[in-house]
Amino acid sequence: MNALLRNSIGRNKNQTLCALTRTSGIVSTSSSTSTSTSSRLYHKNVVDHYEKPRNVGAFDKKDANVGTGLVGAPACGDVMKLQIRVDDDGNITDSCFKTFGCGSAIASSSVATEWVKGQHVDEATQIKNSEIANHLNLPPVKLHCSMLAEDAIKAAVKDVKEKQAKAKEAAAMAGGGGK
């Protein structure tokens, strides 16, 4: 028998009630209002990363070894902040995220933070949204969530590279390189 999982995904002014139903690794969310009913299926990987997101948090964005990528999707209102911490060789030693958005956006963020850890910053930028979408089995209507994750990774890498270049330049100037 399928178990019904109650989830406070949201209530709007019409008191939309949402529930998740687990069926063979697929989860269905149903919304019903007085005027409409909609349903969407989610793969077990989305549900796993939504219910138990990895690496939620924030680093000090002023740290020269921290890169921050802040991206958003105006069409749906999702906003994703992904941060990476790198060592002196450019290897990502840690990552975290904060996302305001749907379950697919949260799951995409969670997967992205897991995948970038241990990679060199240049390797991390090779992660494609299609890989995240395939891993999560995202439906076409949710592909923008994986695109946000890819964009956030690239923005975080760009940010940390710019910070490190400025720090290197400042160190050279302080060391007498600006005579």
Q: How many residues does the chain have?
A: 179
Residues 6+ apart with CB under 8 A from 159: 67, 68, 69
Consecutive H or E run containing 26: strand 26-32
**18 among known catalytic residues:** no
Question: How far apart, in whole angstroms, are the C-alpha atoms of residue 46 and residue 178?
Answer: 52
Residue 164 burial (C-beta neighbours within 10 Å; 0-12, 13-18, 19+): middle
List the alpha helices (DSSP H) in 40-128: 44-51, 103-116, 121-124
Q: Measured at the alpha carbon of residue 142, what is the angle toward residues 137 and 148, in degrees to the nearest 5?
A: 100
Of 18, 96, 102, 145, catalytic: 145
Consecutive H or E run containing 17: strand 17-23
Of 18, 76, 96, 102, catalytic: 76
**102 among known catalytic residues:** no
Task: State whether residue 66 is helix, strand or coil.
Answer: strand
Active site residues: 76, 145
